[in-house]
């Protein structure tokens, strides 16, 4: 049966880790594997990368627990911290590290005694204004945290950029300056652990932000965090990265189609010639965007051909042209090869590459190569 497949190259992944290390030679690496490793399958990725990176970062407690259950050894950080009091025992049970970003979490830690101490990271809000202690009162919270019996010292300090993808942003420089001001303001240096600010944008565009630990997400998967079409670098490949994911499926059938006939829901496209159409087992039910621009292309048997008509839940039609040799069962690539970077498809769908990757559904089956 023809199905949508998310093919993941483990070789590309290892190449990207090596390249990111080369770009930030003095830093340790935290591989960000939230959202099922941006749909690349976090279990497989974490087991392959366990010896190659220094930390893993996840967004949810459950993600961290799942990684421990399959035997991942590296430290795992909950980027959003814990939410409930009961979670603290799970952090200890599964040896998970947690970000502390708000007074509520701090209050919970202050009031309990723990059998072993927790490894925590202090999150500073340098300008994202989403999670983290505001710079104007962070020092008193940091001091309070350092006094908790329940936690290990020193405490790592982290922050996150709001605009690292804007290559000439004043905001990023201001955030860095605020971060440094905070570090300088802590009188007792022995309670300050490692520093971490840079995600993919910071790693690729802002070397001053690399610090002790870099936190690559999208770049790890070989994809650029910057907008496609922006001046200068546009795709992961332009930075020497290799896209890890190829999204592909197969032709279900090739059908005759007459000039002037339309195809699919809403009759949004009519053929200007007699042609052959391929029906492909891929749709928005697999996560391919329904509202893709007309003339977005796919790769089949060594050439690019356009999607025609509306993307449906389970099927997409492509115009193979009147003289095609393409047959049922032939492979169709939707993104991932040189001619079809995911960044380009993102631009054609009005979404970011982040969204395009993470919205893939479980119906698209993961398959690993190399």
Ligand X SMILES: *Cc1c(COP(=O)(O)O)cnc(C)c1O
Closest approach of ligand X to the CB of residue 354, in Å? 6
Catalytic residue (one of 73, 259, 265, 365):
265
Distance CA 256, CA 52 (A): 51
Closest approach of ligand X to the CB of residue 80, in Å? 8
Smaller CB distance to ligand X: residue 4 or 205?
205
Closest approach of ligand X to the CB of residue 242, in Å? 16
130 is in an annotated binding site: yes
Smaller CB distance to ligand X: residue 57 or 309?
57
Smaller CB distance to ligand X: residue 4 or 31?
31
- Tell me: does residue 32 bind ligand X (CB under 6 A): yes
Smaller CB distance to ligand X: residue 211 or 310?
211
Which residues, listed in sequence order, are joined to residue 122 by a DSSP beta bridge? 100, 157
Closest approach of ligand X to the CB of residue 53, in Å? 13
Smaller CB distance to ligand X: residue 32 or 176?
32
Closest approach of ligand X to the CB of residue 100, in Å? 13
Smaller CB distance to ligand X: residue 102 or 304?
102
Residues in 258-317 at the binding interface with ligand X, rule: CB under 6 A: none
By CB under 6 A, the count of residues binding ligand X is: 13
Closest approach of ligand X to the CB of residue 181, in Å? 20
Distance CA 4, CA 2 (A): 7
Long-range contacts of 99-107 (CB under 8 A, 24+ apart): 99/123, 99/131, 99/158, 100/145, 101/125, 101/131, 101/132, 101/133, 102/131, 102/133, 103/133, 103/141, 105/81, 106/141, 106/144, 106/145, 106/148
Residues in 174-233 at the binding interface with ligand X, rule: CB under 6 A: 199-201, 215-219, 225
Which residue lies nearest ligand X, judged by its C-beta? 217
Smaller CB distance to ligand X: residue 99 or 320?
99
Q: What value, to the nearest 5°, has the Cα angle with vertex 89 and ends 85 and 91? A: 100
Catalytic residue (one of 34, 42, 178, 344):
34
Closest approach of ligand X to the CB of residue 159, in Å? 9
Say whether 34 is catalytic. yes
Residues in 68-87 at the binding interface with ligand X, rule: CB under 6 A: 79
- Cis (ω within 30 of 0) for the bond into 154? yes
245 is in an annotated binding site: no
Which residues participate in catalysis according to the annotation? 34, 265
Write out the binding residues.
130, 313
Write out the binding residues for substrate.
130, 313
Residues near ligand X (CB under 6 A): 32, 34, 79, 160, 199-201, 215-219, 225
């Amino acid at each position: 049966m023809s199905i949508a497949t998310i093919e993941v190259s483990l070789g590309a992944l290892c190449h990207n880790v090596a390249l990111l290390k080369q770009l930030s030679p003095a830093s340790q690496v935290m591989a960000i594997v939230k959202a099922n490793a941006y749909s690349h399958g976090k279990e497989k990725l974490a087991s392959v990368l366990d010896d190659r990176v220094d930390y893993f970062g996840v967004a949810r407690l459950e993600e961290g627990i799942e990684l421990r259950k399959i035997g991942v050894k590296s430290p795992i950080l909950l980027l959003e911290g814990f939410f409930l009091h009961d979670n603290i025992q799970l952090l200890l049970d599964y040896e998970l590290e947690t970000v502390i970003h708000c007074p509520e979490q701090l209050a919970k830690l202050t009031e309990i005694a723990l059998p072993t101490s927790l490894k925590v990271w202090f999150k500073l809000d340098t300008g994202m204004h989403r999670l983290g202690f505001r710079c104007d009162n962070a020092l008193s919270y940091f001091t309070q945290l350092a006094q908790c019996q329940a936690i290990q010292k020193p405490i790592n300090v982290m922050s996150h950029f709001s605009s690292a993808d804007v290559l000439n942003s004043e905001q990023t420089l201001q955030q860095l300056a605020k971060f440094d001001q905070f570090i300088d303001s802590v009188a007792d240096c022995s309670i300050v652990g490692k520093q971490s600010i840079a995600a993919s944008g910071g790693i690729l565009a802002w070397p001053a932000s690399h610090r002790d630990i870099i936190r690559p997400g999208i770049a790890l998967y070989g994809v650029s965090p910057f907008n496609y079409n922006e001046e200068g670098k546009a795709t992961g490949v332009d930075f020497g990265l290799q896209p890890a994911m190829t999204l592909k499926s197969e032709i279900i059938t090739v059908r005759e189609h007459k000039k002037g006939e339309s195809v699919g829901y809403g009759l949004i496209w009519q053929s200007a010639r007699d042609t052959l159409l391929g029906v492909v087992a891929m749709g928005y039910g697999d996560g391919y965007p329904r509202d893709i621009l007309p003339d977005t292309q796919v790769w089949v048997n060594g050439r690019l051909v356009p999607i025609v008509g509306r993307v449906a839940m389970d099927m997409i039609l492509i115009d193979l042209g009147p003289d095609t040799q393409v047959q049922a069962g032939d492979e169709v690539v939707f993104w991932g090869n040189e001619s079809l970077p995911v960044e380009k498809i993102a631009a054609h769908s009005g979404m970011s590459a982040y969204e395009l990757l993470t919205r893939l559904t479980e119906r698209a089956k993961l398959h690993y190569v190399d």
